[in-house]
Structure 1
Amino acid sequence: MAQQNTSDLIEAYIKQILEESEIIEIRRAEMADLFHCVPSQINYVINTRFTVTRGYSVESKRGGGGYIRIEKVRMSNCHQFLEHIKRLFDGELTEKDAVAIIQKLYEEGIVTKREGHLLLTAIAKNVLSVSKEEDQIRASLMRALLERLSYEDRK
């Protein structure tokens, strides 16, 4: 059995709590004590694994009574969800962020597994790296995709 690293364990723990409650508040120092790590590792996990593109809203307050509030974003309206994602990127989109968006589209039932795989192929670095503007091309492709999906939802 593969051993999980501390970041994976922290992520799994937070996701398990989010299954029971839509919004959670955690304290960096308490989480660090629980996992025997430094508070910056808690920040790292939250900043990289609980992003808007992955379907989470994060709010933090620093200081003595500080907390991190994490909420799993649930979009009841597909059109609204697609518009929300479209606002997340401007003229450029990294492959990592595009993959996270496609994963979220799949999780929300907006695209099928097969459609998701096709989209992943279209935005892949090895496909788009023929151009110096690969992130701009990826952003343009994703924007067109989201607009089309949004149009389909209105019907």
Structure 2
Amino acid sequence: KVAAVEVVTPDAPVKKAPAKRVAKKVAAVEVVTPDAPVKKAPAKRVAKKVAVPTAPAVLAPLVEAVESRRPVKRDRSPVNGEDDFRSFVRYHRPGSRVTAEVHSFTSHGALVHVTLRSGAVIECYAPTSGLADPAPARARDVLRRGEHHAFTLVSVDLDRRTAEVSLV
């Protein structure tokens, strides 16, 4: 076999290799010469310490600003009237049964109204954990507004004048 040989003469045009369409990645190389200045790393940002005067007149606005950012305590006012709740607690002990009407729903339970003999209404809370086993996702899955159900009195909060009940 004879290999093909291409003869190039000075007058003949030179053939170039076809150009590639894919760009090649080239790593950046930094040449350091002995005469070149050395680059320093950027300085770290450090908070400067400033002396704060401690006079009470100067600190008072700062204290007010800090206190204003604190969360406001929710108003924990009593839910039911004092006399009506006393009579409710007198006749109903934890563990006793009460009949109540479903009044409204919350994100985690329902509010029910217990009507006393005097005609007074006591608002009680029925959490979803006390409505079924396992607890339903919503109280609306078990109860309907306006329905009357038998509940068991679970606990009484004398400070807030409210009671917690569970479905029998």
TM-score by length of 1: 0.25
Higher strand share: 2
Higher helix share: 1
